[in-house]
């Protein structure tokens, strides 16, 4: 039996993956600041299949105690744990030197880099050595390509990939899969299209993705990802 743990399930790709896991009756722990009505309803009806852990991933204090609230019985009869690092933010979209309040920088790094680092470290620590861990990192082309206005996003995405590369070398029972889902039709893309062209010179290109109908459907992407995870 598998246990899935996923962050960022209130919308977009994370919501679609979580909903499909629920339909497949996979054991699931969803981590987030908020949840959809469907997720809340199912957690009430089938608490043995889905458990919701409330956590603001931009708040370091909440992350440090999150696994204290983790239902230990969820490890019973589980031989593989699949952690899906899905939560992420793109903003603030600004050129370096224009971020203003350092809290914006801190919150971004907390969500995109520090939170998965802390959660994965805790997961590795509490998981019995006999159980296999698979980490699915929802990455981005920005992890390897410098984009003006995206210094925080590019660097945080690159940093978590390197962290996971080291982890995979250290642990024989841990498998890492980095997945770049491409440009999807999500709220993040809306935020990008509403950015300032002076801060993000590629704005016209991303607006054209929408106008030309080239944004990927998140439901289709979720299906493709689960096919790669679930044998």
Q: Is 210 helix (H, G, I), strand (E, B) or coil?
A: helix
Contact partners, residue 46, CB within 8 Å, separation at least 6: none
d(CA 151, CA 56) in angstroms, rounded, equals: 23
Beta bridge partners of 54: 32
Has 153 been annotated as catalytic?
yes
Cβ neighbours around 168 below 10 Å, total: 14
Which of 74, 99, 153, 209 is flagged as catalytic? 153
Alpha helices (H) in the chain, listed in sequence order: 12-23, 37-45, 60-65, 102-109, 115-126, 151-170, 187-193, 203-211, 218-229
> Do 176 and 170 touch, CB atoms closer than 8 A?
no
Among all residues, which ones are annotated catalytic? 153
């Amino acid at each position: 039996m598998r246990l899935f743990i996923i962050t960022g399930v209130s919308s977009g790709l994370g919501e679609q993956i979580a909903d499909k896991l629920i339909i497949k009756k996979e054991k699931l722990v969803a981590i987030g600041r908020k949840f959809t009505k469907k997720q809340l309803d199912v957690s009430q009806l089938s608490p043995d299949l889905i458990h919701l852990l409330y956590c603001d991933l931009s708040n370091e204090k909440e992350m440090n105690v999150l696994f204290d609230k983790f239902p230990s019985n969820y490890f019973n009869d589980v031989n593989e744990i699949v952690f899906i690092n899905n939560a992420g933010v793109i903003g603030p979209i600004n050129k370096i030197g224009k971020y203003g309040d350092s809290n914006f920088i801190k919150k971004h790094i907390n969500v995109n880099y520090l939170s998965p680092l802390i959660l994965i470290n805790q997961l590795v620590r509490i998981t019995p050595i006999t159980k296999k861990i698979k980490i699915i990192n929802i990455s981005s082309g920005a992890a390897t390509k410098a984009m003006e206005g995206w210094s925080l996003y590019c660097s945080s995405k690159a940093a978590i990939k390197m962290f996971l590369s080291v982890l995979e070398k250290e642990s024989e029972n841990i498998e890492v899969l980095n997945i770049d889902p491409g440009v999807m039709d999500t709220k993040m893309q809306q935020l990008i299209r509403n950015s300032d062209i002076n801060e993000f010179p590629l704005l016209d290109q991303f607006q054209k993705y929408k106008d030309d109908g080239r944004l990927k459907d998140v439901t289709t992407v979720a299906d493709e990802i689960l096919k790669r995870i679930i044998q």
